[in-house]
Structure 1
Amino acid sequence: MSTPPLRKDAARNWRHIVETARQYVDDGKPLQLNDVARTASIGVATVYRHFPTPEALLETVALPAIEKLLRRAEHALAEDDPWVALREFLAAVIEVMLTDPAVPPVFAAATDTLQDTGDLKRGLAIAFGELLARAHAAGVIDSSVTESDMTPLMCGIAYAANMQSDLDPTERAALGLRYLDLLLTGLHRP
């Protein structure tokens, strides 16, 4: 069952709420629905009608980046070279983790509020599993490396790059990609 389209005013309010929340997240402010409503000059009840929890709003803010990441995973799966495909996908993950502050807490959440979020995260996990399996089968990555090994390593790269608070997000992403290259150099089996 699909949801009916929003009325024009409701759709406009929804977009304004999401835009306001995006600014909160980008500025590092806590995402509280009452504060978002006040900043957006929209009634609190309207905000809660669209987004019953801050988690639902945060996931909505993060969804475009996660959707883009899934498209990049699909592109990587179409790559013939398993090593290039794996590198391309992991680089995309690091880039998103370091340039969109809405994504890391959504990835770290134990549960998902929105169905779309869960579906996208499952799709990413499946794509990553396939990319890693292809790299293993081709013998281009240490065969002992598992999916569960890579998650904390990727988080560690993002954490290390984020420690450089004097850098802007683009510079932190470049640093994160450098750290990823160092990690992958150690894992690569030419």
Structure 2
Amino acid sequence: MNTPPLRKDAVQNRHRIIEIARRYVDDGRPLQLNDVARTASIGVATVYRHFPTPEALLETIALPAIEKLLRRAEHALAEDDPWTALRDFLAAAIEVLLTDPAVSPVFAAATDALEDTSDCKRRLATAFAELLARAHAAGVIDSGVTESDMVPLMCGIAYAANIQSTLDPTERATLGLRYLDLLLTGLHRP
């Protein structure tokens, strides 16, 4: 079943809702649909029609960054050198986690509100598993390191960089990449 295209005013309302919600997330404010409606000067029912839950709105905001990371993963899979591929993908993941505050809570959520989010997360997990398997097969990373090890380590790096509240997102990303480099130096098997 195809859904009809949105009317021009509906498209404008959707963009306005996303714009306001993006500001809320970037400012660290709770994403409450009623508050977004009030700030956007749009009726609450209109906001709920576009985004039935705050999670759906948050995922909509995070999806461009997640899709960008997925493209980076696909690019890494095309890389011939397994170590460079894994390192570059993990660096891209740290950068996204530290520059877009919408991404971490979407990755941390037990369930997804949008099918597109679930699909992207599934494809990212598959790409990461393949990148790690290629690195193991090439003998360039400690064979005992698993996906289950790497996820909390990446979260730890993001957390450690994020507690530097005086830094802007770009500076936190730079710090996170430094922490990642230290971690990978310990895991690398030349």
Separation in structure 2 between the aligned mates of residue 132 and residue 49 of structure 1, nearest angstrom? 41
What is the alpha-carbon root mean square deviation over aligned residues?
0.6
The residue number in structure 1 matching 2:3 is 3
The residue number in structure 2 matching 1:150 is 150
The residue number in structure 1 matching 2:78 is 78
For structure 2, list consecutive stretches of 5 or more residues without a partner in the other structure. none
Separation in structure 2 between the aligned mates of residue 98 and residue 132 of structure 1, nearest angstrom? 22
Query: Cα offset for 1:5?
Result: 1.6
Q: Which residues of 2 match residues 16-165 of structure 1 at below 5 A?
A: 16-165=16-165
Query: Cα offset for 1:3?
Result: 2.8
Q: For residues 19-65 of structure 1, what are the alpha-carbon distances to aligned partners after superposition, in whole Å with 9 as ceiling and x for unaligned? A: 11000000100000000000000000000000000000000000000
Matched, 1:174 2:174: yes
Amino acid aligned to 1:27: D
Separation in structure 2 between the aligned mates of residue 113 and residue 88 of structure 1, nearest angstrom? 29
Separation in structure 2 between the aligned mates of residue 181 and residue 3 of structure 1, nearest angstrom? 46
Amino acid aligned to 1:175: L
Structure 2 residue matching 1:183: 3-state secondary structure: helix
Separation in structure 2 between the aligned mates of residue 177 and residue 171 of structure 1, nearest angstrom? 10
TM-score normalized by the length of structure 1: 0.99
Q: 1:59 to 1:178 in 2, by over 3 A?
A: same
Separation in structure 1 between the aligned mates of residue 147 and residue 105 of structure 2, nearest angstrom? 19
Separation in structure 2 between the aligned mates of residue 137 and residue 12 of structure 1, nearest angstrom? 50
Structure 2 residue matching 1:176: 3-state secondary structure: helix
TM-score normalized by the length of structure 2: 0.99
The residue number in structure 1 matching 2:186 is 186
* Paired-residue identity, %: 85
Query: Cα offset for 1:163?
Result: 1.0
Q: Runs of 4+ in structure 1 displaced over 6 angstroms?
A: none
Amino acid aligned to 2:153: L
For structure 1, list consecutive stretches of 5 or more residues without a partner in the other structure. none
Query: Cα offset for 1:7?
Result: 1.0
Amino acid aligned to 1:48: Y
